[in-house]
Structure 1
């Protein structure tokens, strides 16, 4: 009985840690996508400025 409770506890902790990591990964993907869009906009603006000169 004690071993079964220990296994259930370990599995529960593993699921909690996995959930936290997946949540962090999702936010990293969102931040990366926003940074990518900002980079594209800045490159477009800089390109327009370079062609005007």
Structure 2
């Protein structure tokens, strides 16, 4: 559901993986440098699956 996606996006923002902005009715997420490190497997965050795992 949309509420579940919004909750997950805000959780990722709390972890420093993305920034989140409300732009009208749309929620915009932008990957941070830390998020890039997590996605590349250079950083670990409990609750975020590692690439290739």
Structure with greater strand share of residues: 2
**Max radius of gyration: which structure?**
1
TM-score clears 0.5: no
Which TM-score applies when normalising by structure 1? 0.30
The two structures have a TM-score, normalised by structure 2, of: 0.30
Considering Cα pairs closer than 8 Å and 6+ residues apart, tell me whether 1 or 2 has the greater RCO: 2
Query: As a proportion of its length, which structure holds more helix?
Result: 1
